[in-house]
Amino acid sequence: METIKIKYFSQDLEKLAYIDGKSDWIDLRASETVTLKAGDFKLIPLGVAMELPKGYEAHVVPRSSTFKNYGILQVNSCGVIDGSYCGDGDMWKMPVYATRDTVISKNDRICQFRIMENQPQIQFQETPSLEGKDRGGFGTTGVR
């Protein structure tokens, strides 16, 4: 089992919890109340900083209900927090775009994360052709 050092920027923010058997994604919460108008961009503070284990990174994505409940989109689709973002002031944030007027209250669960091992070192070998089946460049059906 890996151990992650975590700093909370607010004592009244609900603590993170790993719920074994339910999901291996961990919910993150807004650490302040945020009011957005349609078309606004905001970095929503998540109230935590972490020191990830060596060789790991965190992937941050919206919860499945985030758009339905708040009308916000995470503008980088999937946020990647590498292991070097681990300082005392490196609070995690979620970059969002509001599609409608909305209010996100402090402690609302708006996104989730999981840690992943860093990609191993790879090298590319150029070749004039590949041996796999040509699917026409359009997924499994090859239909355009």
End-to-end CA distance of the chain: 46
CA 128 to centroid of chain Cα atoms: 37
- CB count in 10 Å sphere of residue 15: 9
Tokens of 121: 């070192």
- Reply yes or no on whether 82 is catalytic: yes
Of the candidates 20, 40, 82, 134, the residue annotated as catalytic is 82
Q: Which of 70, 87, 85, 88 is nearest to 34 (CA)?
A: 70
- Indicate the SS3 state at residue 70: helix
Residue positions annotated with a catalytic role: 82
